[in-house]
Amino acid sequence: MAQQRAPAKRVGRRFGYAVAIAGNVALLVIVNNILDWGWLPWLTEGFREVLPVMNVSLSVSIVVNAIYLFYDAPGFKAAAELALLIISLVVTIRLLRVFPFDFSAYDFSWGTLARWLLGLAIFGICVGMIAQVAQLARLARKSAGEASSPTP
């Protein structure tokens, strides 16, 4: 029974990686055309300043998820997720610095809320980075323990 679950879990993970790839490809198309499409009237031309780092982030995520389709060992995955979080932090900080949003047409202080949400995202990314470093440390300890234990 357990042997049947392992391949099913692997197939489920691979499906998730494929969905992530498709989602990131769709986001690449959207973020690179959204200003031209005029969907978000509060998004300014300053958004073009954020696009390069956003494109790097989405592209790296596509590549990492493509690698996961074939190789998703825990140590590799933990290191890759840490790298993705670092890139996400750079993108979020860039969004906060450029702040390509103009909410002046609205009565509510959406700009303040957006800045708070970006700050909250930065905090969450930092927490995620700490968790990934802890995961890497756990995996390293486990690997070191297995390497030092005698094999029968």
Residue 149 has pLDDT above 90, yes or no: no
Span 18-29, pLDDT tens digits: 999 999 999 999
User: In the chain, what percentage of residues exceed pLDDT 70?
Assistant: 93
Residue 152 has pLDDT above 70, yes or no: no
Q: Is residue 97 part of a domain?
A: yes
Q: Is residue 101 part of a domain?
A: yes
Classify residue 116 as exposed, middle or buried by CB count within 10 Å of its CB (0-12, 13-18, 19+).
exposed
pTM: 0.88
User: In the chain, what percentage of residues exceed pLDDT 90?
Assistant: 87
**Identity (one letter) of the amino acid at 149?**
S
Q: Hey, what are 108's tokens?
A: 């509510």
Q: Is residue 150 part of a domain?
A: no
Domain that holds residue 34: 2-142
Place of tokens 């969907």: 39
Among 68, 74, 81, 71, CA closest to 139: 74
Q: Hey, what are 18's tokens?
A: 């494929």
Count how many domains the chain has. Answer: 1
Classify residue 58 as exposed, middle or buried by CB count within 10 Å of its CB (0-12, 13-18, 19+).
buried
Q: Is residue 104 part of a domain?
A: yes
Q: Is residue 47 part of a domain?
A: yes
User: Does residue 149 or residue 72 have the better pLDDT?
Assistant: 72
Please say whether the beta carbons of 92 and 54 come within 8 A: no
Please say whether the beta carbons of 115 and 96 come within 8 A: yes
Q: Is residue 148 part of a domain?
A: no
Q: Is residue 152 part of a domain?
A: no
Half-sphere exposure of 142 (CA within 13 A, CB side): 8
